[in-house]
Amino acid sequence: MIRALLLLFTLAFAVPAAAQDSDFVPAGTQTVEDIMARQRALADGDESVRAVRDRQGGPDEAVADGIGLTADGTMGQTNDWSDPGIWRGVRYDDLDMRSQIRGPAATTLIQTGGMEWLERRAGPLRVWGGGLLFFTLVALGIFFLLRGRIRIDGPRTGRTLVRFRVYERFAHWLLAGSFLALAVTGLLVLFGRIAIIPIFGHEVWGPVAIVTKWVHNNISWAFMLALVMVFVLWVLQNIPDRSDWQWLKRAGGIFGGGHVPAKKFNAGQKAIFWAVIILGASLSVSGLSLLFPFEMPLFASTFTHLNDWGIGGLFGGLPTDLAPQEEMQLSQLWHGIVAFVMIAIIFAHIYLGSIGMEGAYDAMGKGRVEEQWAREHHSIWADKVMAERDDPRRKQTGSPDANPTPAE
Amino acid sequence: MKTMLSAFAVAILIAFAAQYTFDALPFSSAERQSAENVRLD
Ligand code: HEM
């Protein structure tokens, strides 16, 4: 028995070794020295050697060159040497072959985008994304030190105005709660490996990763729902108009002092609104494409449009023939980039909505704001609401929202 | 505060609903995309 096993063991090595002993070298076959020379040139930054693959072409050229053919002139499994023609055909997708591999995207056996994606995700995405968040926090800290909390300048009136109804606040907090959960878990997905494992070890990261993934995948629906709600509720009040131009010219009064007239939302808030809607929608779409792998390829068609419009030309022409895996890689990178930009913007928003401005939080916390705050920051809106409130005809109908109520 | 907390609670509820919905779907996307014998093209 042991003898038989030993024999089998020896044979297992002997057969491939014998296979490589063949001294028939077909014309044009690369030698190890050819490959090493290419590697050295690549290491020295000479990209021109990559063109070698184009010169060698696909299986047709391989047939013409006699590369990778068996003795009977076919590209079968009976040959006894390595098969560059077959692998090239597999790589460039131009072979008539069948595979026993099943499952999604099984028809791509080789694609070379994986390593690039891995390196971009582990390199620039982490470095630039993390850097963006870090410097946003530093900038907000510096702003706070220089400008301090934006106070209500005038004396408080003790009266409040309704700013957001309960369903508006509900939509906002659904959006905010889900976004923050997604931001924290998203950052964990990207940084967990390098931030958690070295400090707490694999045993800790394991369960954290499971929860992280569950939260990130499933909370996304609340975010998408809230995004639609917020859009529907606030879009009309966020259409840019002439008052925004005045506000922008004076940078919202941040530096010059004084207050700039504004409607319900000033130009800065409108910018936040549209950033949230557009970036949020893009995050949702790329997120869905990641959630349902290979079902929603986005980039080949997007790149085709960009190329048609001439925008792709700025990047030297964008690739439109993408393997399913490359579609997923691009979705992941795009999802990450947009998420970082949006988180940075939301940092600024949270700052202004809480410690950055006295009286602002009440708008979302209680739904009512101090009348003096409204006069200073949203004077056009405040005048309108107060005029409605003080309108004697309205008073008779007794609308509860328009009535003055003491501040809590 | 109450509105905020109820919104957070609804977010979690939606997450569980999503989880159970996808578990209960009669097909899996990976199965749907797979085949017995795949032609490379
Ligand atoms: C704990 C975090 C947050 C706080 C304290 C906060 C606070 C506020 C406040 C006070 C307002 C009303 C401003 C006003 O009266 O004019 C507001 C509005 C708004 N919030 Fe938030 N928010 C937070 C998170 C978020 C998140 C994560 C998002 C989106 C993903 C978001 C999106 C918006 C939008 C679109 C508006 C309306 C436009 C604007 O006022 O800029 N908020 N938020």
Distance A363 CA to ligand 1 centre (A): 9
The reported pLDDT for the residue numbered A60 is 54
Task: Give pLDDT, residue A78.
Answer: 40
| List of long-range contacts for A80-85, beta carbons under 8 Å, 24+ apart | A80/A19, A80/A22, A81/A19, A81/A20, A81/A22, A81/A24, A81/A25, A81/A26, A81/A29, A84/A29, A84/A30, A84/A56, A85/A59
The angle subtended at Cα B7 by Cα B4 and Cα B12, nearest 5°, is 130
**Would an 8 Å CB–CB cutoff place B21 in contact with chain A?**
no
User: A259 C-alpha to center of ligand 1: Å?
Assistant: 21
Mark yes or no for CB contact B18/A93 under 8 Å: no
| Protein residue whose Cα sits closest to atom 22 of ligand 1 | A350
* Atom of ligand 1 lying closest to residue A361 CA: 10
Q: Which two tokens stand for residue A337?
A: 């980039």
Q: What is the pTM of this model?
A: 0.78
For the stretch A383-387, contacts whose Cβ atoms lie closer than 8 Å and that sit 24 or more positions apart, written own/partner, are: A385/A161, A385/A162, A386/A161
Task: Measure Cα distances from A174 to A169, A223, B31 in Å.
Answer: 8, 7, 34
A273 pocket-lining for ligand 1 (C-beta < 6 Å):
yes
Closest by Cα among A322, A103, A98, A85 to B40: A98
- Cα radius of gyration (chain B): 19
The 8-class DSSP code of residue A125 comes to I
Instruction: Please report residues of A whose CB lies closer than 8 A to that of B25.
Output: none
User: Going from the N-terminus, what domains does chain A have, and what CATH number goes with each?
Assistant: 25-91 (no CATH), 115-406 (1.20.950.20)
**What is the distance in A from the centroid of ligand 1 to the CA of A31?**
64
Q: What is the ipTM of this complex?
A: 0.86
pLDDT score at A33: 79
Calculate how close chain A gets to B38, using CA atoms only, in Å.
5
How far apart are the C-alpha atoms of A190 and A109, rounded to whole Å?
A: 27
Give residue A405's pLDDT. Answer: 46
Beta bridge partners of residue A159, listed in sequence order: A406
The pLDDT value given to residue A122: 92
A vs B, Cβ pairs < 8 A, gives: 97
Task: Assign residue A27 a region (left: φ > 0; alpha: ψ between -120 and 50; beta: otherwise).
Answer: beta
Burial of residue A159 (CB within 10 Å: 0-12, 13-18, 19+) is: middle
Residue B31, pLDDT above cutoff 80 = no
Q: What is the DSSP string of A289-306?
A: HHHSTTTS--HHHHHHHH
Q: Which atom of ligand 1 is nearest to the CA of A266?
A: 16
The pLDDT, as a whole number, for residue A392 is: 78
Q: What are phi and psi of B40, to 5 degrees?
A: -85, 120
d(CA A365, ligand 1 centre) in Å: 10
Encode chain A (408 residues) as per-residue pLDDT tens digits. 455 544 444 434 333 333 343 455 555 566 777 778 878 887 888 777 665 444 444 455 555 554 444 445 554 444 444 566 677 777 776 777 677 777 777 777 787 788 889 999 999 999 999 999 999 999 999 999 998 888 888 888 889 999 999 999 999 999 999 999 999 999 999 999 899 999 999 999 999 999 999 999 999 999 999 999 999 999 999 999 988 888 888 888 776 667 888 889 999 999 999 999 999 999 999 999 999 888 888 999 999 999 989 888 888 888 888 888 899 999 999 999 999 999 999 999 999 999 999 989 999 999 999 999 999 999 899 999 888 888 877 655 544 454 444 444
Q: Give residue A41's pLDDT.
A: 83
Question: Count of CB atoms within 10 A of residue A209's CB?
Answer: 18
Is B14–A106 a contact, with Cβ atoms under 8 angstroms apart? no
**DSSP run (H or E) holding B40:** strand B38-40
Which of A102, A289, A364 would best serve as a mutation to test chain B binding (most B beta carbons within 10 A)?
Answer: A102
